[in-house]
C-alpha cells in the first residue's frame, strides 16, 4: 500500500499527550495516515518575521510524521490574508464586491506555493500518494510537477466552486484553472460544483469533458468528481448522548426550562448569513406573538480572521444587530437572543445541538457545512429536532429531511422556524431518520476511502 502525504494550509498537530484536535476531518485523515503511514505537511501558523523560516519542524507520532513550516510576515500577509482570503474566498462564495485583487498578493500566493513545494519535495518517495487540501494550495501540484515529481496527486476543494461568469472576474483565473489540471483527481463537495468547474473548462475553451468523470485540459487528463465531506456520524451521536451530563449543558438546559431552543453555530464570516438569520428570527417573533417568552435563539459565533477588515466590521455589525433585537423584544424575564462571540468546546456543542428544537443553518453560500450534519447526528432519536437549512449549502444536496430555505427570503425563513417548532413528532422522526440513515452510510471515513480509491493507481 502506497504511503500517504497530506498537505494542507494548517495541520492539526497532536499535543504532548499525543491527542490530536477534535473534528471529523482531522479524525478521518489521521486514520488514513495511520493505516498507510505518511506525512502531514503544512504551515505552523507562526511567522518567522522578516527572517527566512527555519527548516521544517518535524514531529513523529507512530508512523505519521507531522512536518511544519513557518512563513515570513510578508508571506502571511500576501498569501494567506491577501490572495487566499481576500480574493479566492470571496470569489468562490460569489462575493465579487468583496474581492480585493492586487498583483503583489497574487505573486505572494504563487510564491508561497512554490516554497511549500520546495520544502515538501525532498520528503517524497516515488510511489507516495499526495493529497492536497483547499483553496490555499491550488498551484502546488504544478510546482511539484515542474520539479519533476510524477506521483499521483489529488486535490480536494472544501469550499464552493463558482460558475464561469463569477470565476472569470478574477484576473488570474487562467493560472488557477491550469493549476488544477496538474492534479490526477480534482474533488469537489457537490455535483453542482463539479458542473461549474466543467462549465469553466468549456467556456474558456481550455478543456473537454471526456465522459465517466474524465477531463482533459492543458495537455493533461484527470478525473473530476463530487466527494461530499461528512462527519464521524456514529461517534458524534454517542458523543452528544454523553454530553447531556456535561455541567455546562446541564446549566443551559436549566436556563431555558419551559422554552424551545433554536440554535445556530457558525464561524464569523459574511458567507454564513448571520445578519439575515437574526432578521428572520425577529420577523418570526413579531409574526408569532404567542412565541414571545417561549423560545430562545442561541447563536454561537467564534471570531474569525479578525486581521481582515471585513471580518472586524462584521463582528461589530452582528453584535449591534443582536443587541438591537434584544433591546426591542426583551422582557424582564426573557432575552430572545443569546449571542456568544467565542469558541465553545465540541463536547459542549454536541450537547447544545441535542437541546435544540431547531437547528438553524442558513449560509448564503457554503461548500458543505458540517454543522448541519453534526446537528442531525446529535439528535435524540425519540424526540429529534428539525433542521432548517439553506438551499445554498452543499449539505442541502444530501439532507433531504431538512426544511430548505432561501436565506435571502427573510419571511420564508421566519415561516420555516414557525413550521419547525410546530412540527408533529412523527414527521420529525421520519425526516430525522431519513437524514441519519444517509449520514451513517456516508460518514467521513467513507469520504476519505472514496477519494483515495480514485487517487490510487
Q: For residues 271 and 93, is the Cβ–Cβ distance under 8 A?
A: yes
Average pLDDT of every residue of the chain: 94
- Regarding whether 68 and 170 lie in a shared domain, the answer is yes
- Kindly state whether residue 279 falls inside one of the protein's structural domains: yes
For residue 275, give its domain range: 232-440
Per DSSP bridges, beta strands 185-188 and 64-71 are unpaired
- Regarding whether 411 and 389 lie in a shared domain, the answer is yes
pLDDT in tens, 263-301: 999 989 999 999 999 999 999 999 999 999 999 999 999
- Looking at residue 302, its pLDDT comes to 85
Measured over all CA atoms, what is the biggest interatomic distance in the chain, rounded to whole angstroms? 70
Per DSSP bridges, beta strands 337-340 and 220-226 are unpaired
Task: Give the C-alpha distances (Å, rounded to integers) separating 385 from 380, 422, 437.
Answer: 8, 11, 16
- Regarding whether 295 and 211 lie in a shared domain, the answer is no
CA 174, distance to chain mean position in Å, is 25
Residue 318 has pLDDT above 60, yes or no: yes
- Kindly state whether residue 355 falls inside one of the protein's structural domains: yes
- Regarding whether 123 and 258 lie in a shared domain, the answer is no
pLDDT band at 23 (very low <50, low <70, confident <90, very high): low
- Looking at residue 3, its pLDDT comes to 96
Per DSSP, what are the bridge partners of residue 99? none
Q: For residues 424 and 216, is the Cβ–Cβ distance under 8 A?
A: no
Q: For residues 406 and 448, is the Cβ–Cβ distance under 8 A?
A: no
Residues contacting 374, CB < 8 A, separation 6+? 231, 236, 349, 350, 353
Question: What are the residue numbers of the active site?
Answer: 158, 366
- Regarding whether 191 and 93 lie in a shared domain, the answer is yes
- Regarding whether 301 and 214 lie in a shared domain, the answer is no
Going by C-alpha positions, the residue among 266, 250, 330, 269 that lies closest to residue 298 is 266
pLDDT in tens, 38-96: 999 999 999 999 999 999 999 999 999 999 999 999 999 999 999 999 999 999 999 99
- Regarding whether 319 and 177 lie in a shared domain, the answer is no
Please give the backbone phi and psi of residue 156, each rounded to the nearest 5 degrees, phi first.
-125, 125
**How many Å apart are CA 6 and CA 68, to the nearest integer?**
12
pLDDT in tens, 355-367: 999 999 999 999 9
- Looking at residue 26, its pLDDT comes to 80
Q: For residues 98 and 72, is the Cβ–Cβ distance under 8 A?
A: no
| Crossing angle of helices 233-243 and 370-378, rounded to 10° | 60
In the chain, pLDDT over 70 holds for what percent of residues?
97
Q: Which of 194, 226, 258 is the last residue of a domain?
A: 226
- Regarding whether 255 and 202 lie in a shared domain, the answer is no
- Kindly state whether residue 186 falls inside one of the protein's structural domains: yes
C-alpha cell at 150: 510524477
Residue 237 has pLDDT above 60, yes or no: yes
* The total number of structural domains that make up the chain: 2
Going by C-alpha positions, the residue among 292, 225, 326, 230 that lies closest to residue 24 is 230
CATH number at residue 344: 3.40.50.2000
- Regarding whether 236 and 178 lie in a shared domain, the answer is no
What is the rounded average pLDDT of the residues 319-344? 94
- Looking at residue 307, its pLDDT comes to 66
- Looking at residue 19, its pLDDT comes to 53
- Regarding whether 274 and 157 lie in a shared domain, the answer is no
- Kindly state whether residue 452 falls inside one of the protein's structural domains: no
**How many Å apart are CA 401 and CA 145, to the nearest integer?**
44
C-alpha cell at 125: 518517495
Going by C-alpha positions, the residue among 147, 87, 105, 104 that lies closest to residue 123 is 147
Please give the backbone phi and psi of residue 149, each rounded to the nearest 5 degrees, phi first.
-75, 130
- Regarding whether 265 and 219 lie in a shared domain, the answer is no
Q: Which of 196, 226, 256 is the last residue of a domain?
A: 226
**How many Å apart are CA 111 and CA 143, to the nearest integer?**
10
- Kindly state whether residue 449 falls inside one of the protein's structural domains: no
Q: For residues 385 and 379, is the Cβ–Cβ distance under 8 A?
A: yes
What is the rounded average pLDDT of the residues 235-260? 93
In the chain, pLDDT over 90 holds for what percent of residues?
87
Per DSSP bridges, beta strands 337-340 and 403-405 are unpaired
* Residue 457 burial (10 A CB sphere; 0-12, 13-18, 19+): exposed
- Regarding whether 200 and 66 lie in a shared domain, the answer is yes
Q: Which of 226, 259, 285 is the last residue of a domain?
A: 226
- Kindly state whether residue 84 falls inside one of the protein's structural domains: yes
- Looking at residue 123, its pLDDT comes to 96
- Kindly state whether residue 395 falls inside one of the protein's structural domains: yes
- Kindly state whether residue 445 falls inside one of the protein's structural domains: no
pLDDT band at 17 (very low <50, low <70, confident <90, very high): low
pLDDT band at 180 (very low <50, low <70, confident <90, very high): very high
pLDDT band at 305 (very low <50, low <70, confident <90, very high): low
Amino acid at each position: 500500500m502506497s504511503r500517504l502525504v497530506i498537505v494542507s494550509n494548517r495541520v492539526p498537530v497532536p499535543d504532548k499527550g499525543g491527542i490530536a484536535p477534535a473534528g471529523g476531518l482531522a479524525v478521518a485523515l489521521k486514520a488514513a495516515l495511520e493505516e498507510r503511514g505518511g506525512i502531514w505537511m503544512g504551515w505552523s501558523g507562526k511567522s518567522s518575521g522578516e527572517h527566512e523560516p527555519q527548516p521544517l519542524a518535524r514531529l513523529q507520532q507512530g508512523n505519521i510524521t507531522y512536518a511544519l513550516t513557518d512563513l515570513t510576515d510578508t508571506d502571511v500577509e500576501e498569501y494567506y490574508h491577501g490572495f487566499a482570503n481576500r480574493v479566492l474566498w470571496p470569489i468562490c462564495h460569489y462575493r465579487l464586491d468583496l474581492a480585493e485583487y492586487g498583483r503583489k498578493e497574487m505573486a505572494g500566493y504563487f510564491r508561497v506555493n512554490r516554497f511549500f513545494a520546495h520544502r515538501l519535495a525532498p520528503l517524497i518517495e516515488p510511489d507516495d500518494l499526495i493529497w492536497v487540501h483547499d483553496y490555499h494550495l491550488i498551484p502546488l501540484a504544478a510546482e511539484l510537477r515542474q520539479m519533476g515529481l510524477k506521483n499521483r496527486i489529488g486535490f480536494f476543494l472544501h469550499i464552493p466552486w463558482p460558475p464561469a461568469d463569477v470565476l472569470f472576474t478574477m484576473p488570474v483565473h487562467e493560472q488557477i484553472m491550469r493549476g488544477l489540471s496538474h492534479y490526477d483527481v480534482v474533488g469537489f463537495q457537490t455535483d453542482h460544483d463539479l458542473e461549474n468547474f466543467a462549465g469553466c473548462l468549456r467556456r474558456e475553451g481550455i478543456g473537454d469533458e471526456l465522459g465517466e468523470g474524465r477531463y482533459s485540459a492543458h495537455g493533461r487528463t484527470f478525473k473530476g468528481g463530487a466527494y461530499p465531506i461528512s462527519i464521524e456520524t456514529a461517534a458524534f451521536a454517542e458523543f452528544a448522548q454523553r454530553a447531556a451530563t456535561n455541567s455546562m449543558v446541564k446549566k443551559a438546559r436549566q436556563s431555558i426550562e419551559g422554552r424551545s431552543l433554536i440554535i445556530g453555530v457558525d464561524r464569523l464570516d459574511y458567507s454564513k448569513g448571520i445578519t439575515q438569520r437574526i432578521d428572520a428570527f425577529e420577523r418570526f417573533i413579531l409574526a408569532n406573538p404567542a412565541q414571545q417568552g417561549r423560545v430562545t435563539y442561541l447563536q454561537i459565533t467564534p471570531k474569525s480572521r479578525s486581521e481582515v477588515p471585513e471580518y472586524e466590521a462584521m463582528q461589530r455589525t452582528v453584535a449591534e444587530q443582536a443587541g438591537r433585537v434584544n433591546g426591542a423584544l426583551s422582557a424582564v424575564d426573557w432575552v430572545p437572543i443569546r449571542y456568544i462571540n467565542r469558541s465553545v468546546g465540541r463536547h459542549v456543542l454536541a450537547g447544545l445541538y441535542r437541546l435544540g428544537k431547531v437547528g438553524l443553518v442558513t449560509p448564503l453560500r457554503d461548500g458543505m457545512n458540517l454543522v448541519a450534519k453534526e446537528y442531525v447526528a446529535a439528535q435524540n432519536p425519540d424526540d429529534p429536532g428539525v433542521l432548517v437549512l439553506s438551499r445554498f449549502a452543499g449539505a442541502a444536496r444530501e439532507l433531504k429531511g431538512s426544511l430548505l430555505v432561501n436565506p435571502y427570503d427573510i419571511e420564508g425563513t421566519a415561516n420555516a422556524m414557525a413550521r419547525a417548532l410546530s412540527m408533529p413528532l412523527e414527521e420529525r422522526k421520519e425526516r430525522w431518520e431519513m437524514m441519519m440513515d444517509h449520514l451513517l452510510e456516508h460518514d467521513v471515513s467513507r469520504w476519505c476511502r472514496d477519494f483515495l480509491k480514485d487517487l490510487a493507481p
